Chains A and B, each alone.
Chain A
Amino acid sequence: MAVAETAPKAGELRAYLKTHMREYGLLFALIAIMAFFQIVTSGTLMRPVNITNLFLQNSYIIIMALGMLIVIVSGNIDLSVGSVMGFVGAFAAVMIVKMGAPIWLTILASLLMGAAIGAAQGYWVAYWKIPSFIVTLAGMLVFRGASLWLLEGQSVGPFPPEFQRLSTGFVPDLFPRSVTEPIGALFGQRNLNLLCMGVGVLASAAILWSGLRRRARDAAYGVAGEPARFFWLRNVVAIGALLFLTFKLATFRGFPNVLVSMALLTLLYAFVTQNTVIGRRIYALGGNEKAAKLSGVRTERLTFLAFVNMGVLAALAGLIFAARLNTATPKAGFGIELDVIAAVFIGGAAMAGGAGKVVGAVIGAFIMGVMNNGMSIMGIGIDYQQVIKGLVLLAAVIFDVYNKRRQG
């Protein structure tokens, strides 16, 4: 009966899955890892307070992963981001704590400082063709030393509360508690942040709507897109996870400020890389620099801008990190560049450039973050943690290469 009809369709589905293994694999890997740690930590992982923590702990890595993705897609690498992040944090601390500069001025100056550092490194990479590995390795040493010098080897803090809010603040609810508490009670919770929940629901609707619109357009042009089953499965899982997370956050204190800036930046960068001329040219540059150049892409300038952008994001990460710790220490950002780079590669970017997506890099960062968090809750020592993270990175890349080979 129906079996005869669905048999060829199953073959098609398998073929589609084979070529898109990577995208689904990543999402399901994250979910599987979260489920695993949820079970072994007996539910601690998904407690509202821990989910909030998870975002706070990983915000600066995710923000830098956005810039790193662009650098890596353009065919380069930036090893200096950890040092730059620490240096800018130190710079901000000196300005605010020691010199008493206003916060808005400090933030502005810090971001400009990040841009200048990115420009200084990008200049050598783009216009002198010095390998980015070397330039940023030098930068890593230089800015590590510079933050030590700036802080004179001491920790500088604490920051005024307004500055701390950059990292640890929450977006207040629009509705008074007299409205939200009874609604929370309906769900068996003490309180429910309606703004948070509302945004979650709206975002879910937006994801579904834009997905459907895209499908309709593909269909209109006769482009064979994602099979319907996969589309719905993927969306149900993603939206389910989104609603689940916002619900958890809503029952705690709502959206952390950091989550808002992180989410907005992720959306912005996803849009820029996938839907704009400049984004397209970055992929062309990384895919085949010579061909891109002969097609009128200003490859040098684009490489330069990729590093400027990375510098600004590293500076932002530095501010958030310093605000979170409420102090700037000479050790801040130590080794962070490796976590950022690992997140981008776990997310499917190619070392050679030209491939990789923002969403992938963010999921990659979350995979690392959840593992860090989960293993810490379980009380696994830092020694084993490092080994396991290393193996996960290797496994992700092997999975990539294996998939590519199978496609031929």
Chain B
Amino acid sequence: MTALLEMRDITKEFPGVKALDRVNLVVERGEIHAICGENGAGKSTLMKVLSGVYPAGSYKGEIHYDGALAEFRNLSESEARGVVIIHQELALIPQLSIAENIFLGNERAARGVIDWNETWRRTEELLAKVGLRDAPGVLVGTLGVGKQQLVEIAKALSKDVRLLILDEPTAALQETDSRKLLDLMLELKAQGVTCIIISHKLNEVRQIADTVTVIRDGATVSRIDAREGLSEDRIVRDMVGRDMSHRYPARVSDPGEKIFEVEGWSVWHPEQAERRVIRDVSFHVRAGEVLGIAGLMGSGRTELAMSLFGRSWGRNVSGEARMRGRPVDLSSAPKAIAAGLAYVTEDRKHLGLILDESLRFNTTLANLPGVSRGGVLNEAEETRVSEGYRKAMATRTPSVLQKVGNLSGGNQQKVVLARWLFTDPEVLILDEPTRGVDVGAKYEIYTIINQLAAQGRAVVMISSEMPELLGMCDRIHVMNEGAFVGELTAAEASQERIMSLIVAQPREQGAA
């Protein structure tokens, strides 16, 4: 019998980037197949190719599904053949009931009139299958994330799924919910449903996967048969092992006194009152030091940074922050700026820039008093300041009056950096400073970061790219599920060590 799915030499290019480079994936009938890889390795792109989000013709290579060449042009075509994908961000509508969500777009109806009896009866059947005991009429918004996940799976089952793809299904789940979900997957497997699971949690992969495919930098690295015995070390090595020489400018590291200190920092989720997202985090950073925070997406890095910077995220923030040994009030963004903190956000377009305004407007925004007297702006001074940063950072633009929305990612990032440098901060928190930035501009941004440290500023650098942290930082904290799980000096840090700290069995958090 042939494999259920065979993806051969899949290559997908975006302007300037090769996201997938001749990836091969073979999924046998009735197995649970895990795909592992770092953030940005190309896992999600591969699944989008498979499900027709990127239609046939927009990629190179062949997909054979169920013994025939498949050329899906959109999601509904792939769903019609039983390929269903469940994304990390659930696609449910909170204001509708479970039954309405399950049959959304696939209503049990005759001539446009919904047959509610049939809908409810089918829903009850499906809910029994996934082990959910809530009534079909319950609003999805009132369910926890774990149950919502089950509703998604019930929805997939309603479409006669044959190949179920789960993208990081347990990332947002508590331990017990994760356990339930994994059991359900094994049950579905027994019923003949083939599963692809994308996961960072190697202990879970080890528990349920029959085969593992590791993807790195858009290429297949290895295909491991779990029945031969699966070693987490092997997967970690395959996930991260890549060459990284000369991609980072050299720096003389000379950390001085402790500038910024955080102790016992805890933050609760703004909507889910019982969820503690940051757990008792403590760290410090010295003058002239670059401190890295490693961790996967969703580990709480951004939430930590934003809660520090003016409590811009979460609620019930507790813990103490000290600047040069003295407690500081960081309870609003203006106070945080006044205390000498700067935060370069991860999401430039939505949280960083005002895209319709000019370079000049965006450069001076965080320090308008610096270019005004008595509340009246001095436009000439603004031009001088922004022109100065433009030259110093080699931002490529014809003029400082250019709209920042027209600049490339790297140049936009330089504008955000310039804005914060103009506030003359002592501590800079850089959240994914090179995301969406091309390789050349990355090097320039690294150089700027090194200059900042050389000026005696303290830099906290958050990044999903481990090589970047290893190449830039003096010290690295590893973060997982909202807590700091390990600290490594530059000398002892390696991608393998960071990854094994991240994927290590999470500590018991019964108190949470």
Mark A residues whose CB is within 8 Å of B: 217, 220-221, 223-224, 275-281, 283-284, 287-288, 290-298, 354-355
Give A276 to B334 CA distance when docked, in angstroms: 18
A281 near B368 with CB under 8 A, answer: yes
B353 near A291 with CB under 8 A, answer: yes
Tell me if B399 counts as interface (CB < 8 A to partner A). yes
Known A221-B384, A294-B333; judge A275-B312 contact (CB<8 A).
Answer: no
15 contacts between A and B (CB under 8 A): A223-B383, A276-B372, A277-B369, A277-B376, A278-B375, A288-B350, A288-B355, A291-B351, A291-B353, A292-B365, A296-B336, A297-B333, A297-B365, A354-B354, A354-B356
Shortest CB–CB separation between residue B412 and chain A, in angstroms? 12
Give A371 to B377 CA distance when docked, in angstroms: 37
Known A223-B383, A294-B345, A296-B334; judge A275-B376 contact (CB<8 A).
Answer: yes
A284 near B376 with CB under 8 A, answer: no
List chain B residues, Cβ under 8 A from A275.
376-377, 379
A291 near B354 with CB under 8 A, answer: yes
B314-333 CB mask vs A (1 if < 8 Å, else 0) is: 00000000000000000011
A280 near B368 with CB under 8 A, answer: yes
* B403 to chain A: closest residue by CB: A407
Give A298 to B332 CA distance when docked, in angstroms: 9
Shortest CB–CB separation between residue A219 and chain B, in angstroms? 12
Known A275-B376, A277-B369; judge A224-B333 contact (CB<8 A).
Answer: no
A294 near B399 with CB under 8 A, answer: no
20 extra interface residue pairs, beta carbon distance < 8 Å, beyond A221-B383, A287-B357: A221-B380, A275-B376, A276-B375, A278-B375, A280-B365, A283-B354, A284-B357, A284-B361, A284-B365, A287-B354, A287-B356, A288-B350, A290-B351, A291-B353, A292-B354, A292-B365, A294-B312, A294-B333, A296-B333, A298-B332
List chain B residues, Cβ under 8 A from A279.
377
* B352 to chain A: closest residue by CB: A291
Tell me if B309 counts as interface (CB < 8 A to partner A). yes
A293 near B312 with CB under 8 A, answer: yes
Give A316 to B198 CA distance when docked, in angstroms: 64
List chain A residues, Cβ under 8 A from B334.
296, 298
Name the 3 nearest CB pairs between A and B, nearest first: A287-B354, A295-B366, A277-B368
Choose among B354, B361, B400 the residue with the greatest number of A CB atoms under 10 Å from its CB.
Answer: B354
Mark B residues whose CB is within 8 Å of A: 309-310, 312, 332-334, 336-337, 343, 345, 350-357, 361, 365-366, 368-369, 372, 375-377, 379-380, 383-384, 387, 399-401, 419
Binding site of A, secondary structure by majority: helix, strand, loop or mixed? helix
Give A281 to B357 CA distance when docked, in angstroms: 12
List chain A residues, Cβ under 8 A from B365.
280, 284, 292, 295, 297
Give A280 to B357 CA distance when docked, in angstroms: 11
B309 near A294 with CB under 8 A, answer: yes
A288 near B353 with CB under 8 A, answer: yes
A223 near B353 with CB under 8 A, answer: no
Give A185 to B355 CA distance when docked, in angstroms: 57
Give A221 to B360 CA distance when docked, in angstroms: 13
List chain A residues, Cβ under 8 A from B380.
217, 220-221
A277 near B377 with CB under 8 A, answer: yes
Shortest CB–CB separation between residue A344 and chain B, in angstroms? 18
Shortest CB–CB separation between residue B478 and chain A, in angstroms? 26
B372 near A221 with CB under 8 A, answer: no
A294 near B351 with CB under 8 A, answer: yes
Give A223 to B356 CA distance when docked, in angstroms: 19
* B380 to chain A: closest residue by CB: A217
Shortest CB–CB separation between residue B278 and chain A, in angstroms? 18
List chain B residues, Cβ under 8 A from A223.
383, 399-401
Of the candidates A221, A295, A354, A355, which one forms a contact with B419 in the assembled complex, judged by CB atoms under 8 Å apart? A295
Give A35 to B384 CA distance when docked, in angstroms: 43
List chain A residues, Cβ under 8 A from B387.
221
Give A292 to B352 CA distance when docked, in angstroms: 8
A294 near B368 with CB under 8 A, answer: no
Give A297 to B333 CA distance when docked, in angstroms: 8
* A288 to chain B: closest residue by CB: B354
B377 near A276 with CB under 8 A, answer: yes
List chain A residues, Cβ under 8 A from B399.
223-224
Shortest CB–CB separation between residue A303 and chain B, in angstroms? 15
Shortest CB–CB separation between residue B319 and chain A, in angstroms? 20
Give A292 to B351 CA distance when docked, in angstroms: 8
Give A238 to B373 CA distance when docked, in angstroms: 31
Shortest CB–CB separation between residue B378 and chain A, in angstroms? 9
Shortest CB–CB separation between residue A41 and chain B, in angstroms? 40
